[in-house]
Amino acid sequence: MEKAAVQSDDGLVIPLIDLSKFLNGSPAQKVETAKAILDGFQRAGFIYLKNTPITPETRKHVFETSAKFFELPGETKLSHAWTTPQANRGYSAPGREKVTQLTDLSAVESLRSSLPDIKESFEIGREDEPEHPNLWPAESGELVGFKSTMNSFFDQCKSLHEQVMRAIAVGMDLPEDFFDKFIDVGDNTLRLLHYPAVEKSVFRINPGQVRAGEHSDYGGITLLFQDQRGGLQVRSPGGQFVDATPIEDTIVVNAGDLLARWSNDTIKSTVHRVVEPPRRESEGGDGGEHPPRYSIAYFCNPNFKSFIEAIPGTYATEAEKKYDGIYSGQYLVQRLTATY
């Protein structure tokens, strides 16, 4: 086994898994890797993947393209503003979304006005959805090629989603293609994230200030691409927030609430957040600012029209099913409605 990517003294172990052994390995390596992936989602709710089909060059290009979007003037970005949970596409300025566990709207509202997350984001959905067109920025200057770069990345992430779900199926001793028909539409969201540079004093003066508040993700799995800045933290079983330190050219993958529900709670959807980067010895003092951080989250969901009820093998008798079935789209719109 690889050395774990993250290990805490109170029970959080996030494995680092070589996906190429699932995709191209021997039959034994394939099964072993699938079991390790499922085990990671069951124990931690998080895994790191290396050697995925998404190349370092693609990743670099997508991050550069994302940064160019966020350099646009505020009013240009706001002319592509996020509209509704149903569409879930467009730009959110700092302070718009407060990700949280709370579903009580007034509690969410008071949190939002006290300490808004220091972040901005741009959400892209599947392009072949006539009811909810993507809110593409005009392609001039630095933004030439934005749309094709993002659409192509969307498709590559969609394929990776399919591979990871195949691994979960093999890990569960189900037919490898078990999940294919539940996820083939690609009702997923590509979220570009920018956490602007921020004075270090902001975090010192407001102890509750974070870059992204603690939350679990809502859907199936999330493919999370982070730069080298750091600041992502995952909650351990003992309740501590543990640094999920960036590892070059890996993808952090975490399970969301809908997959936890689908798996009859055999898979965990684990709370995480983004705070200021951990202090490195070399950086010394408290003055100055933290540099910006960029990340990209690709939220993978079951098709909105898929009816989600406990996966075979995750319960022995009907009485052991913890949840009623629900349509994926209905579940996700409910969750998004509570946070915007």
Binding site for Fe ion (CB under 5 A): 217
List all residues 6 or more positions away from 49 whose beta carbon is below 8 Å from its beta carbon. 17, 18, 19, 164, 250, 251, 253
Q: Which is nearer to ligand AKG, 33 or 295 (CB)?
A: 295
Rounded to 5°, angle at Cα 336 from 331 and 338: 105
Q: Locate tokens 């085990």: which residue?
A: 39
Contact range with ligand AKG by CB under 6 A, out of 78-86, 174-182, 224-232, 283-291:
224-232
Shortest Å, Cβ 12 to Fe ion: 16
Q: Does 297 bind ligand AKG (CB under 6 A)?
A: yes
Q: Please pick, from the candidates 89, 112, 272, 335, the single residue that binds ligand AKG as defined by CB under 6 A.
A: 272
Query: By Cβ distance, which residue is nearest to Fe ion?
Result: 217
Q: Does 226 bind ligand AKG (CB under 6 A)?
A: yes
Number of amino acids touching ligand AKG (CB under 6 A): 11
Shortest Å, Cβ 293 to ligand AKG: 7
Shortest Å, Cβ 218 to Fe ion: 9
Site string for ligand AKG, 175-204 (x = CB under 6 A): ----------------x-x-----------
Distances (CA, A) of 334 to 53, 66, 306, 329: 33, 28, 16, 9
Q: Does 212 bind ligand AKG (CB under 6 A)?
A: yes
Shortest Å, Cβ 256 to ligand AKG: 9
Shortest Å, Cβ 247 to ligand AKG: 13
Measured between alpha carbons, how far is 6 from 13 in angstroms, rounded to an integer?
A: 6
Using CB under 6 A as the binding rule, the residues of this chain from 108 to 127 that contact ligand AKG are none
Q: Does 221 bind ligand AKG (CB under 6 A)?
A: no
- Given ligand AKG, Fe ion, none, residue 226, with its beta carbon under 5 to 8 Å by kind, binds ligand AKG
Q: Which is nearer to ligand AKG, 175 or 278 (CB)?
A: 278
- Given ligand AKG, Fe ion, none, residue 296, with its beta carbon under 5 to 8 Å by kind, binds none
Site residues (CB under 6 A) for ligand AKG? 191, 193, 212, 217, 224, 226, 232, 272, 274, 295, 297
